[in-house]
Amino acid sequence: MRNIDEHNITEAAIARLGHGAQPRVNEIVTALVKHLHAFVREVKLTEAEWQQGIVFLTDTGHMCSGERQEFILLSDVLGVSMLTVALNQKRAAGATEATVFGPFHVDDAPRCEDGADIARGAPGEPLAGEIEVVDLEGRPIADAEVDIWQADDDGLYDVQRPELGTERRARGVFRTDAKGRVRFRSIVPTAYPIPTDGPVGRLLDAAGASPWRPAHVHFRIRAQGYATLVTHLFREPDPYLDSDAVFGVRSSLIARFEPQPGGGYRLQHRFVLVPESEA
Amino acid sequence: MRNIDEHNITEAAIARLGHGAQPRVNEIVTALVKHLHAFVREVKLTEAEWQQGIVFLTDTGHMCSGERQEFILLSDVLGVSMLTVALNQKRAAGATEATVFGPFHVDDAPRCEDGADIARGAPGEPLAGEIEVVDLEGRPIADAEVDIWQADDDGLYDVQRPELGTERRARGVFRTDAKGRVRFRSIVPTAYPIPTDGPVGRLLDAAGASPWRPAHVHFRIRAQGYATLVTHLFREPDPYLDSDAVFGVRSSLIARFEPQPGGGYRLQHRFVLVPESEA
């Protein structure tokens, strides 16, 4: 084909790219070409806009580091992350719902003993967390890994504070006891704008969209034989529960942060995992 | 909306993102969300595949530098670049056709005097180029900028040879004389595989697609009052003219590389620009 034009190029690209050794790759690449081309045709993308797109993607890549994932942020604000989560979590009734992973998880969070304070000096009102990890029948799941991370009272994660270097605050990894429980101390999360100092911030600004997320604590719970659960607990009241910049709120994930007589708050929650085989 | 699910998230994302101050941005973002979501739904993207996608885009961004543009390469192999070019070049009959820009242009190519040898030691058979830049009526366009770049006999651009550092070979920028002409000396281009040492190479490999491009010389011609022309001249015969990895071949861009009695080749071509107002 030496005269590919706007009419036959999609067919030509699919014929070229959709025939590798892995059927699933072929399926994904074929659909990607089809939908990308449909996008370019629908908006009749100009060459200057294409150039801007290349610069945008390049800037987004250059913003990514071990502590900042701008492509996840992009996927989040476009609703792609939550759509993917929603498509994959047709779980049994009673199971805890999943939500977006977000861009601020790190792999080297401190390993903590039960009851540890993960705040480590992060500013905020004290929070006492008591969580329980159970199966669909309510039986405790022992030795589950519970990875917790959150923003502080200024709405910042530790990785957003260059002055901390690699010091980790307001995040930690626990293991459940024989009763499926983890107790931790931390701080009360606050609502915050997602970082707007990069390409995604420029996109939200151009698109007239708010960067705010309602206050939440992230959890990733992994246990042998169970589907990994990536979710948040949101705090009510919060002005952004109905306008989360990343579409992550589920009613079932709004948890009680109870003010305590002596000051601070208590958060109790039971997470219900489904067997790996049913996920 | 605090219970966004797989069914209503596209509507929610468009409602959130499609209302900025610039109508064209709204149009593009709305279409992007719609088509991206349609892709995710059609293939029922898994969370592991989404993660692989994030890693792929991040790696692609990290591969981009001033001398390597992996996102352009990605756009090229997916047919997005050529589709964009084709959609935008509904030009008057007789005008030279455009093709893809490619990932190997640099902004700091040497400025050359008429007749200069741009090869500067790049390996290859000698080539004498004689080009002419004219308008639709065949009148010469003087003082047009003619930016030329190409691969060498090993199929490599200068920027693909780390040993050269910032030394520039087989590229140069000329200006047409009063008769719209530029003469240059260079080397004969050869067919080459696009770089396969990055994420795009991994994609082509997984998709079972060939990385080869037919031999060509790149041209970008800019002149006051005319639409910028980005194009190639291809050499015949070449085994890849019908299977260019980036879908860039147009019959009208296949040029004559005439063997010369004393050795080497001669390339003559007339480029026809359209007024800016008609582009």
pLDDT tens, position by position, B205-241 = 999 999 999 999 999 999 999 999 999 999 999 999 9
Structure token digits, residue B71? 């996102």
Q: Omega of the bond prior to A237 within 30 degrees of 0, cis?
A: yes
The whole-angstrom distance between residue A112's C-alpha and the CA centroid of its chain comes to 22
Phi then psi dihedrals of residue A74, to 5 deg = -60, -50
ipTM of the complex: 0.92
pLDDT tens, position by position, B112-126 = 999 999 999 999 999
Q: Which pLDDT band holds residue B1 (cuts at 50, 70, 90)?
A: low
The whole-angstrom distance between residue B140's C-alpha and the CA centroid of its chain comes to 26
Q: How far is A102 from chain B (nearest CA, A)?
A: 12
Q: What's the confidence (pLDDT) of residue A1? A: 63
Instruction: With CB atoms and an 8 Å threshold, state whether A207 touches B254.
Output: no
10-residue block means of pLDDT along chain A (279 residues)?
A: 86 92 96 98 97 98 93 98 91 89 94 98 97 97 98 96 95 98 98 96 95 98 96 95 95 95 96 88
Q: What's the confidence (pLDDT) of residue B277? A: 84
Please state, in angstroms and rounded to a whole number, the distance separating the CA atoms of residues A134 and A115: 19
Structure token digits, residue B233? 């001249």
Q: Which residue on chain B is closest to A38 by alpha carbon?
A: B35
Q: Does domain B70-278 have CATH number 2.60.130.10?
A: yes
Q: What is the dihedral of CA B192, B197, B199, B200, to 10 degrees?
A: 0
pLDDT tens, position by position, B8-44 = 999 999 999 988 999 999 999 999 999 999 999 999 9
pLDDT tens, position by position, B37-47 = 999 999 999 99
pLDDT tens, position by position, A35-66 = 999 999 999 999 999 999 999 999 999 999 98
Whether B194 and B63 have beta carbons less than 8 Å apart is answered as: no
pTM of this structure = 0.92
- Phi-psi map region of A130: left, alpha, beta (phi>0 left; psi -120 to 50 alpha): beta
Please state, in angstroms and rounded to a whole number, the distance separating the CA atoms of residues A28 and B207: 10
Q: How far is B116 from chain A (nearest CA, A)?
A: 31
Interface of A with B in 79-98 (CB under 8 A): 79-88
Q: Which of A31, A80, A244 sits opposite B43 (nearest CB)?
A: A31
Tell the burial category of B208 from Cβ atoms under 10 Å away from its Cβ (0-12, 13-18, 19+).
Answer: middle
| Sequence-separated (6 or more) residues with CB below 8 Å from residue B253 | B96, B97, B99, B231, B232, B233, B234
Interface of A with B in 186-245 (CB under 8 A): 203-210, 241-245
Instruction: With CB atoms and an 8 Å threshold, state whether A36 touches B40.
Output: no
Please state, in angstroms and rounded to a whole number, the distance separating the CA atoms of residues B108 and B152: 18
Strands A171-175 vs B181-187: parallel, antiparallel or unpaired: unpaired
Which SS3 state, helix, strand or coil, does residue A57 take?
A: helix
Q: How far is A266 from chain B (nearest CA, A)?
A: 23
Which SS3 state, helix, strand or coil, does residue A268 take?
A: strand
Q: How far is A171 from chain B (nearest CA, A)?
A: 22
pLDDT of B279 above 70: no
Q: Which of A62, A69, A79 sits opposite B12 (nearest CB)?
A: A79
Q: What's the confidence (pLDDT) of residue A279? A: 66
Instruction: With CB atoms and an 8 Å threshold, state whether A50 touches B84.
Output: yes
Q: Which amino acid is it at B71? A: F
What number of residues does chain B have? Answer: 279
Other CB atoms within 10 Å distance of the CB of residue B260: 11
Whether A186 and A170 have beta carbons less than 8 Å apart is answered as: yes
Chain A residues with CB-CB distance to B39 below 8 A: 31-32, 34-36
Tell the burial category of B137 from Cβ atoms under 10 Å away from its Cβ (0-12, 13-18, 19+).
Answer: exposed
Please state, in angstroms and rounded to a whole number, the distance separating the CA atoms of residues B223 and B271: 12
What residue ranges in A37-144 does DSSP mark as E strands?
Answer: 126-134
**Which letter, b or e, does each residue of B174-202 get, where b requires 16 or more Cβ atoms within 10 Å of its Cβ?**
bebeeebbbebbbbbbbbbebbeebbbbe
pLDDT over 70, % of chain B: 99
